[in-house]
Homo-oligomer: A and B are copies of this chain.
């Protein structure tokens, strides 16, 4: 029985984006992903054409049709006039949960934290990311942090459901509610309240400062961690980096009926066009996408081939370590090595 191809929207992005996207698409297509790609343009070129959001109106049509978005990192121009496209997309299509798995690949990728295997569940629409900022006087600037009950409930429930579904044992919550008693206090209180409905799971809360310290020092003590947007932004970069490289983590942005998949790192303009970048983050984003569109067998194939490539010591510059790695390769060669191992 021949299945219909699943339509997905793809954006090649800026900086190292096009290179890692090409690598990722080559890999998943070689693995037999049954997809129909609709390419849209976003980011720098679109900003430069005068669209302050970095996306053109018709691109939304593609997203609304496919409801699945594989997105490379983009560059937002500096300066007050431009909105972060990442944030706009997350908000317009309601991607409230940002799932960022960070696991070490010891002994294949060198890390100081060989036993780390955590899932960061980051709230993805609220907090200081609401983008409400103003200059009140010549001397005073302000930004509004917003935490809502419905938004908090959704993300906390998502974290507990995720933990249950994937056989995780513990859900930890980070907030700074000794200072932000109302906003972070709401997040913490809802964690406690909703947690009651999950007696099968261990629950734990840390103030974000000491929680972050424990995360950086003994990440193996954590399992699933749920937190407001900004802490999740900072601490998922920390967690990914200490597995070996921020280039190793992919992320799923989930909403009701919509999903976007991406690497957690940025567009690294200084490394663009040099066949240097590690495409792993986007490849893992694509693996999550394949599961989402019910092609788990293809996802498994890609994931295994990717793992074998790392195991064979075929490493991009960011994870290459004399002694541990065997061959330093570029983006294309890394993708080819994965394809050979499919």
Interface residues of A (CB under 8 A from B): 76, 79-80, 84, 87, 112, 128-129, 131, 133-135, 138-150, 176, 178-186, 207-210, 212-214, 216-217, 230-231, 233-238, 240-242, 246, 265-266
**Distance, CA A182 to CA B212, complexed state (A):** 26
Closest B residue, CB atoms, query A217: B241
Q: Are B145 and A182 in contact (CB under 8 A)?
A: no
Chain B residues with CB under 8 Å of A129's CB are: 179
Chain B residues with CB under 8 Å of A181's CB are: 79-80, 133
Q: Are B238 and A212 in contact (CB under 8 A)?
A: yes
Q: Are A183 and B241 in contact (CB under 8 A)?
A: no
| Count of identical protomers in the assembly | 2
Complex A-B: 5 CB contacts under 8 Å: A80-B182, A139-B149, A140-B149, A142-B145, A214-B241
Known A179-B128, A238-B213; contact A149-B143, beta-carbon cutoff 8 A? no
Chain B residues with CB under 8 Å of A217's CB are: 241-242
Chain B residues with CB under 8 Å of A237's CB are: 209-210, 212-213
Q: Are B141 and A148 in contact (CB under 8 A)?
A: yes
**Distance, CA A186 to CA B138, complexed state (A):** 11
Q: Are B266 and A241 in contact (CB under 8 A)?
A: no
Name, among A135, A143, A212, the residue most crowded by chain B CB atoms within 10 Å (CB to CB): A143
CB distance from A280 to the nearest CB of B (A): 15
Q: Are A216 and B238 in contact (CB under 8 A)?
A: yes
CB distance from A233 to the nearest CB of B (A): 5
A143-B180, A144-B145, A217-B241 provided; 7 other pairs, C-beta below 8 A? A133-B183, A141-B183, A142-B146, A142-B147, A176-B230, A209-B237, A216-B238
Cβ-neighbour of A266 out of B138, B145, B185, B210 (below 8 A):
B210
Known A133-B182, A138-B149, A146-B142; contact A234-B214, beta-carbon cutoff 8 A? no
Chain B residues with CB under 8 Å of A183's CB are: 133, 141-143
Closest B residue, CB atoms, query A229: B179
Q: Are A139 and B128 in contact (CB under 8 A)?
A: no
Q: Are B135 and A178 in contact (CB under 8 A)?
A: no
CB distance from A105 to the nearest CB of B (A): 15
Q: Are B182 and A143 in contact (CB under 8 A)?
A: yes
Q: Are B142 and A178 in contact (CB under 8 A)?
A: no
CB distance from A84 to the nearest CB of B (A): 6
CB distance from A8 to the nearest CB of B (A): 27
